[in-house]
Amino acid sequence: MRNVNFSFTTKITFDDYVHDHSFALRIIPPETENQHIVSYDVKISPFVSTQQTTDAFGNNVTAGYLRNEHRFLDFEIRGRAEVNSEIKRTDYMPCYLYKSELTAPDEELAAFYAENRDRCSSTDPDTRAEFFSGLLSETMTYQKGVTDTDTTAAAAFKRRSGVCQDFSHVLISLLRMDGIAARYIAGLAFCDGETHAWVEYWNGSCWNGIDPANNCRTDDGYLVVSQGRDFRDCAVDRGVMFGGYSRQLHLVRTELK
């Protein structure tokens, strides 16, 4: 068990005024069997009234609507949590066994799976998950700036490179082809100044975490912020706005201590 202080800051800047801006944030870590959120404080600027709901995957959603003209949206969360990775989560959903938008394999990824699946003789999900994560770390290179948040598992695999999001999508795709339910986790981890992504797979009775970008098991240094079938379900912020802006600048800073 570990006590952690976490913070997460995002600044979205537009180069012109926007209005009628609706947004949904997934920034408040969920209370789960193995993480207790002791306290937290959310600040959103410009001032806007917000509402909380819990979505289908168990994420806290903070929704708001900024009607008047503005040029930025800043949000920040600071809080304290107790993480205990010894305790395992059991909130299973069958949809995690089936392909999703960003994890559906193409022929190349399916062929890669078919070529390699028998190289691990074990039928134990824990062993197989480790095998596939190891396989990925041999096959793909960690590289920033070559993929974005819309990149599919198939596209990242084709170029054999990407970031934690891409590693997670490809691993999820492989695990689901293997008949192992797997979900995408967006969160904060030690040694990382940005948001991190990893994978939880169902071992038959509970979820176990694995971090394919680092090819290691997750521990008390990982704080779950959101979870879902793939990144789409977990986006930190999703928004729709009107106005003559042409680009938005996104700055993110995270801290886990």
Under rule CB under 8 A, residue 253 binds other proteins: no
Q: Which of 37, 97, 120, 206 binds other proteins (CB under 8 A)?
A: 97
Under rule CB under 8 A, residue 95 binds other proteins: yes
Angle between helices 107-116 and 164-177 (to 10 degrees): 60
Nearer to other proteins, 1 or 56 (CB): 56
Q: What is the 3-state secondary structure (H, E, C) of the chain?
A: CEEEEEEEEEEEEEEEEEEEEEEEECCCCCCECCEEEEEEEEEEECCCCEEEEECCCCCEEEEEEECCCEEEEEEEEEEEEEECCCCCCCCCCHHHHCCCCCCCCCHHHHHHHHHHHHHCCCCCHHHHHHHHHHHHHHHCEECCCCCCCCCCHHHHHHHCEECHHHHHHHHHHHHHHCCCCEEEEEEEECCCCCCEEEEEEECCCCEEEEECCCCEECCCCEEEEEEECCHHHHCCEEEEEEECCCCEEEEEEEEEC
Q: Which residues from 18-37 bind other proteins, rule CB under 8 A?
A: 20, 22-24
Least distance CB 217 / other proteins (angstroms): 27
Convert residues 40-79 into a mask of x (bound to other proteins by CB under 8 A) and - (unbound). Answer: ---------x-x-x-xxx---x-x-x-x------------
Q: Cβ of 169: how many Cβ atoms within 10 Å?
A: 29
Nearer to other proteins, 158 or 238 (CB): 238
Q: Which stretch binds other proteins (CB under 8 A): 32-40, 115-123, 153-161, 237-245?
A: 237-245
Distance from C-alpha of 26 to C-alpha of 5, rounded to nearest angstrom: 18
Under rule CB under 8 A, residue 239 binds other proteins: yes
Q: Which of 238, 250, 251, 253 binds other proteins (CB under 8 A)?
A: 238
How many chain residues touch other proteins (CB under 8 A)?
A: 24
Nearer to other proteins, 128 or 229 (CB): 229
Under rule CB under 8 A, residue 90 binds other proteins: no
Cβ atoms 234, 227 nearer than 8 A: yes
Nearer to other proteins, 196 or 229 (CB): 229
Nearer to other proteins, 130 or 233 (CB): 233
CA atoms within 13 Å, Cβ hemisphere of 185 = 23
Nearer to other proteins, 4 or 25 (CB): 25
Q: Which residues from 133-192 bind other proteins, rule CB under 8 A?
A: none
Q: Which stretch binds other proteins (CB under 8 A): 1-9, 88-96, 102-110, 164-172?
A: 88-96
Q: Which residues of this protein are in contact with other proteins, per CB under 8 A?
A: 20, 22-24, 49, 51, 53, 55-57, 61, 63, 65, 67, 93-95, 97-98, 229, 233, 238-240
